[in-house]
Structure 1
């Protein structure tokens, strides 16, 4: 059994223990590709384009209530009357900008993905956290690294 296969099985086990459906599905998908011998053809494409695909799917999910009419202009204008809406607006902008830097970090240092995934899995398993994925984690890591470099 190869090291990548064993590593994926370990992550699958952690995902099962943590009851993290996203990790279970992702690892199972990768294991199936490996078992079918499609890993050499598919993994490079997944690695280079997967994050963009994921961001697109998340964006579709966020915009779906607008497309269904569940959220409209009236809701938008009504929400802006609340100070909490302005806080949410600023938070949404901040997290998008933080995640942008996370994308840069993952492209420049893909080996950090392992630590980010492990941190996500541990937070879900031990603290009942929610797995929002490595992109925002990478963005936060990027900011922390820049602050660290600033004070060196």
Structure 2
């Protein structure tokens, strides 16, 4: 095994220590792909993995609707409640924030490593979810834009 694998191995160790199965499986999968010599898959995973993950996550969130556990009537009632209205506003804001994160990560790829380290620490030791880099990128983009306003 080459030294090129060391960052992934360190992340795997952190994930195991932090008892985070999703990060452990993701890293183990990437290491397996790399060790099997199937690195031609990496560009596909990089280009389409995020979208595939969001699709699967969205399917999981919508499953109660598909199962009939939540009806259209239940949804309408929820929209009229304070938590329902707040959830709509927060959902709009977070989706916009994630989009800002995508733009930021494309424009500042050097920040990706820092966001990933922060996300791994949050996932492994604070029982967070690995959806953090996009939201974190959006927050960093907003903070950087605010700092740029004050430094000009």
TM over 0.5: yes
Conserved? CA contact 1:102–1:142, under 8 Å: yes
**1:64-101 deviation per Cα after TM superposition (whole angstroms, max 9, x unaligned):** 21111111211111112211211111011110110111
Alpha carbons of 1:49 and 1:110: their partners in 2 closer, same or farther (altered >3 Å)? farther
Task: Identify the residue that residue 20 of structure 1 maps to in structure 2.
Answer: 20
Moved more, 140-149 or 13-22: 140-149
Q: SS of 1:37's equivalent? A: coil
Q: Name structure 1 gaps, 5 residues minimum.
A: none
Runs of 5+ in structure 2 lacking a partner?
Answer: none
Alignment check: 8 A CA contact 2:102 2:138 kept: yes
Number of matched residues?
A: 150
Q: Distance in 1 between matches of 2:55 and 2:116?
A: 20
Q: Using structure 1 for the length normalisation, give the TM-score.
A: 0.89
Match of residue 58 from structure 2 = 59
Q: Distance in 2 between matches of 1:146 and 1:23?
A: 31
TM-score by length of 2: 0.89
Structure 2 match to 1:70: 69
